[in-house]
Structure 1
Amino acid sequence: MKKIIKTFSLLFASLFLLTACSDNQTPQLNTHYSELANDVSDLVTQPVVEVFSLTCGHCLQMEKFIPEIEEGIGQPIGKIHVTFNESAQAAALFYYAAAMQSPSGKPDQGMMTALFNVYHASGDLSKEQTQQNLVSAFQARGMTSPYELSEAQQQQLFSQVHKAQQITGKAMINSVPTFVVNGKYMVITSAHNDLPSIISTINYLVKKDNANNV
């Protein structure tokens, strides 16, 4: 009898530990992710988008892992360049000028690396030198820089920047890099210790929202 009780006790303890582990692995609201101040699903067409800035050092580091995150979630990640200060607004013009000239609607990895490298080049560059290096990045890839766009292209560029302003303003995003899922949730990247945990949270939010819509 004592043997049976001991066996059941061990089984119960094992189940408790498994449940505890399962609970700990579930992303928590306001810890691993938050709900956006306002739903922006009417403005965001892709399920998962990265919100970033070319001027952000942490965004530069995150950019290296985007392909791995895309593989982990099984879908491409869109991009939204923030415009919440003057330097980010200027960088957004270069990002969207490249995006609108890219077949996929966002710059490829090579162009993204080139743009980030200009903004994070070692040494003190003047504003004129930075702009020239940005123009060179466009010219090297057969693209037209923001300074040389036609009037129609300028209108397209301003439209994309305006949309980015609407998204970041309506969602009240003031910290990057982050990921917005289904226009409703924002991943708190600083609360994650590694890349797999970020991937896990994104997948959780995608499935969570899909389950709610069934």
Structure 2
Amino acid sequence: TPRPTMLRTLALIASLALPGLTLAQAAEAPRPGIDYQEITPAQPLFGPPGKIEVAEVFSYHCIHCADFQPHINRWKARLPADVRLTYVHAAFGGAIDNLARGFYAAETLGATERTHDAFFNAFHVERKIKTGSLEEVADVYAGLGLDRKKLLETMNSFGVTSKVNRAKQFAQRTGVNATPTVVVNGRYRVSATADRGFEGMIRTIDFLVARERAAQARPAAPAAAAAPAAARPAPAPAGR
């Protein structure tokens, strides 16, 4: 039987979590400062406004990102209509930026859905990336069915360069320095922890999405009524 002190502690956790959580769920609730960090001040979204953005900052060279991808795929399959998943390839410099160029070129060409998981496989299973050069990255995408010449042109285009720079700035603004890291609506930074792993990371994302949805549903505070203008003194009668 739970001790009174434990019950009081769980009740406190429940009161701090989202409404409707049971005590057992509240005990497993994401922990501020551990499972997620609040971003202060909140930062602009990577994509357009209108939906709650879940932005995964990842890199194809990152084995942890490859391991996280099946979890993201399962989560994406039940994506609510008011939520958008946005992939943000890290641009930390060097060959990683070439991988980012490849990703954004494939995105520009509308090929992300069929190349994203496959590129992880090409990198970590088939070991097709040795140096991370632009030519090598283009070879991998050509093997996945994209036109190599068109891809190289797109990788070196102004539009892709702009996206790589935006990705770099987004990571800097939101405090992301490792992958995979998920940024929820520009307000929270989520990473995996040793004790809860990737499934805990997914639960944290759901928790923060629900929090953002609840915050957006709250009615705006009524504007304060304008104070009446101070009465002006009556003008003195004109002298005669």
Shorter-chain TM-score above 0.5? yes
Give the CA RMSD over aligned residues: 3.3
- 1:65 deviates by 2.2
Contact 1:50 1:77 in 2 (8 A): yes
1:200 lines up with 2:208 in the alignment: no
Q: Secondary structure of 2:159's partner?
A: helix
Q: 2:121 aligns with which of 108, 117, 120?
A: 117
- 1:186 deviates by 1.0
Query: Residue 180 of structure 2 aligns with which residue?
Result: 177
Extract unaligned runs of 5+ from structure 1: 1-9
Contact 2:63 2:124 in 1 (8 A): yes
TM-score by length of 1: 0.75
Q: Distance in 1 between matches of 2:208 and 2:101?
A: 31
Contact 1:70 1:76 in 2 (8 A): no
Query: Residue 209 of structure 1 aligns with which residue?
Result: 212
* Alignment: residue pair count: 199
Contact 2:95 2:133 in 1 (8 A): no
TM-score by length of 2: 0.68
Q: State the AA in 1 paired with 2:94.
A: E
- CA pair 192-133 structure 1, distance change in 2 beyond 3 A: same
- CA pair 212-129 structure 1, distance change in 2 beyond 3 A: closer
Q: Which moved more, 1:154-163 or 1:142-151?
A: 142-151
Bigger RCO (CA 8 Å, 6+ sep) = 1
1:40-189 alignment runs, 5 A limit: 40-45=43-48, 47-74=53-80, 75-102=83-110, 107-108=112-113, 110-121=114-125, 126-127=130-131, 131-132=135-136, 134-138=138-142, 140-144=144-148, 148-149=152-153, 154-189=157-192
Higher helix share: 1
Q: Which moved more, 1:83-92 or 1:180-189?
A: 83-92
- 1:123 deviates by 6.2
- 1:167 deviates by 0.2
Q: Which moved more, 1:164-173 or 1:64-73?
A: 64-73
Moved runs in structure 1, 4+ residues, more than 6 A? 10-13
- CA pair 164-145 structure 1, distance change in 2 beyond 3 A: farther
- CA pair 147-141 structure 1, distance change in 2 beyond 3 A: closer
Q: Distance in 1 between matches of 2:190 and 2:27?
A: 17
- CA pair 129-91 structure 1, distance change in 2 beyond 3 A: closer
User: Identical aligned pairs, as a percentage?
Assistant: 22
- 1:154 deviates by 0.3
Q: Distance in 1 between matches of 2:129 and 2:97?
A: 19
Query: Residue 7 of structure 2 aligns with which residue?
Result: 16
Q: Distance in 2 between matches of 1:129 and 1:203?
A: 37
- CA pair 31-129 structure 1, distance change in 2 beyond 3 A: closer
- Per-residue Cα deviation, 1:50-90 (whole angstroms, up to 9, x for no partner): 11001101011111222212235535521001112313212
Q: Which moved more, 1:119-128 or 1:62-71?
A: 119-128
Contact 2:58 2:179 in 1 (8 A): yes
